[in-house]
Amino acid sequence: MFQMGGPKPAAPKPSAPRAKPQRAPKRSAVTVHLDAAEKARFEELGGEAWLREQLRAPQAGED
């Protein structure tokens, strides 16, 4: 039942500011055209391992 007068309920305490949730970094899409031998190697190794291998290999024109 509703009561007149009496103690008022305590005002809600302001909460500490919440930290924003960290978002995962956005990944960029890259299109790579592979010949049959490269495609077979890609499927054998899996995407990340193949890419690591490509990044370790000397680029054309480099020694």
Residue 41 within a domain: yes
Q: pLDDT digits over 5-42, tens only? A: 666 767 766 676 777 778 877 878 878 788 999 889 88
Per the structure, the complete domain to which residue 43 belongs is given by 33-57
Listed as own residue / partner, the contacts of 22-30 with beta carbons closer than 8 Å and 24 or more positions apart are: none
Helices (H) and strands (E) in the chain, counts: 2, 0
Residue 37's nearest CA partner among 50, 24, 20, 49 is 50
Residue 28 within a domain: no
Residue 2 within a domain: no
Residue 39 within a domain: yes
Q: pLDDT digits over 36-62, tens only? A: 998 898 899 988 898 888 888 877 666
Distance CA 51, CA 28 (A): 14
